[in-house]
A and B are shown apart, each in its own frame.
Chain A
Amino acid sequence: DAGITQSPRHKVTETGTPVTLRCHQTENHRYMYWYRQDPGHGLRLIHYSYGVKDTDKGEVSDGYSVSRSKTEDFLLTLESATSSQTSVYFCAIRGTTGGWGTEAFFGQGTRLTVV
């Protein structure tokens, strides 16, 4: 299995509080991604990173920020959690050896509940 770890795996938080999710990889892959998964929507891209300190927005970035200060770590922060951000969050990593045909590897997911 690809070396990718998400933490925490489960979290319950209150509306209005900040929350940070962590993704850690041991593969030294260039690209890292945060997705959210909701029923009927598949996985939707929140933010991605193409290198240390290089990040960009995805399809559903409002209310989220990211940081990547080291190759191995990609943090997702919910600045002020809302109930609409209750979801399962997946981190993915992707190398470059096969160009855009290179597959992504996914973490086990973080189930976040905002109450």
Chain B
Amino acid sequence: AQSVTQLDSHVSVSEGTPVLLRCNYSSSYSPSLFWYVQHPNKGLQLLLKYTSAATLVKGINGFEAEFKKSETSFHLTKPSAHMSDAAEYFCVVSGGADGLTFGKGTHLIIQP
């Protein structure tokens, strides 16, 4: 069995400041982990993924995430927020054929 907990339902930051979106996971085996972003009224877009190679993963639009097995975490960061980053972010763990297990999402708000 696997599960994902996104620790914050909403995060608000000022434009130009760092972003941290927190995710903890539970998995019976070595997981594959993903972050997806969903802009309003849009589908989901892959930001980045971890598949047991480098623990620091770089994604699109300046985002990166670090896999920490000892902490069962996969937090998403960005050094400097932009207004266009305002969206819903989902942390996702991959199991088997039954696809992906989603966290409940973190709504990122960017203050001007």
Interchain pairs with CB closer than 8 A, number: 62
Q: Is A74 an interface residue (CB 8 A)?
A: no
Interface string of B68-112 (1 = CB under 8 A from A): 000000000000000000000010001111111111110000000
**How far is the CB of A16 from the nearest CB of chain B, in Å?**
28
Partner of A103, one of B49, B90, B105: B49
Decide yes or no: A31 and B44 within 8 Å by CB, A42-B90, A98-B51 being known contacts.
Answer: no
Say whether B100 contacts A108, CB under 8 Å. Answer: no
Partner of A101, one of B44, B94, B98, B102: B94
Q: How far is the CA of A101 from the CA of B105 in the complex (A)?
A: 20
- Residue numbers of B with Cβ under 8 A of A are 9, 32, 34, 36, 42-46, 49, 51-52, 90, 94-105
